[in-house]
């Protein structure tokens, strides 16, 4: 996920939580947070091939 995509998702979460004119959608908030968490999770190191 690019930096731009992360910023866009964070902005949407912020809007959903803080904009009084936006209807709260808990499912969407959790979905966005799950995407962000998986994008920032450390990737496992590659396993070297045995020779």
Instruction: Please state, in angstroms and rounded to a whole number, the distance separating the CA atoms of residues 44 and 20.
Output: 40
Q: What is the 3-state secondary structure (H, E, C) of the chain?
A: CCHHHHHHHHHHHHHHHHCCCCCCCHHHHHHHHHHHHHHHCCCCCCCCCCC
Q: Give the pLDDT confidence of 1-51 residue by residue, as tens digits.
A: 889 999 999 999 999 999 999 998 999 999 999 999 988 766 666 777 776
Can you give the pLDDT at residue 48?
A: 77
CA distance readout (Å), 23 to 6, 16, 43, 48: 22, 7, 35, 49
């Amino acid at each position: 996920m690019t930096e731009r995509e992360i910023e866009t998702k964070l902005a949407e979460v912020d809007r959903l939580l803080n904009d009084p004119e936006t209807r709260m959608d808990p499912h969407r908030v959790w979905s966005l947070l799950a995407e962000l968490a998986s994008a920032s999770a450390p990737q496992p190191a590659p396993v070297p091939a045995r020779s």
